[in-house]
Amino acid sequence: MADDNNQATAFGWFLAGLGLGALVGILYAPKSGRETREDIVNTAKDGTEYVRVRAREVADQAGQLVEKGKGQAAEYVQKGREQATQYVQKGKEVVDRSRAQWEDFVDRGKGFVNDQSVKVAAAVDAGKHAYQETSAAPGEGPVS
């Protein structure tokens, strides 16, 4: 029973302190309740407007960054195309140079073959002539 009495007393003091705090708050409040509510509403409206303005600014900045990124990407693509064009041109030059060298080698080979053909033909003719001279009877002249 004593515990119930102590709890009731403690609860009573709690209620007394709560009432006293509310009374002091009302007596020392700088504005009336209506003014306080209006201030809260105005502050909320100002905060909402601030958030809208900042959101618009962030969206504008994001748009600018996107445009800047597109410009840089286009620049990189253009540079890549230019480099690719240069590489293709260099490749064509190498192919043309190689083709010219190959044609030169083929022409030299044809010339060499022709020279050797002439020499072989001359050697064959000389061999025929020598054979004819050696196979003819002595005293008979060369056979034509």
The tens digit of pLDDT for each residue in 58-92 reads 999 999 999 999 999 999 999 999 999 999 999 99
Range of the domain at 26: 9-135
Half-sphere exposure of 108 (CA within 13 A, CB side): 6
Residue 140 lies in a domain: no
Positive or negative, the CA dihedral 131, 137, 138, 142 is: negative
Residue 112 lies in a domain: yes
Per-residue CA distances from 143 to 96, 120, 128, 129, 134 (Å) = 56, 22, 10, 9, 10
Residue 4 lies in a domain: no
Residue 143 lies in a domain: no
Higher per-residue confidence, 53 vs 11: 53
Residue 63 lies in a domain: yes
Query: pLDDT for 90-144, tens place per residue?
Result: 999 999 999 999 999 999 999 999 999 999 999 899 988 988 888 875 655 555 5
Query: pLDDT for 19-59, tens place per residue?
Result: 788 777 766 777 677 787 787 788 888 888 988 998 999 99
Number of domains in the chain: 1
Residue 114 lies in a domain: yes
Residue 2 lies in a domain: no
Half-sphere exposure of 86 (CA within 13 A, CB side): 6
Residue 98 lies in a domain: yes
pLDDT at 139: 58
Beta-carbon contacts of residue 142 (< 8 Å; ≥ 6 apart): 129, 132, 133, 136
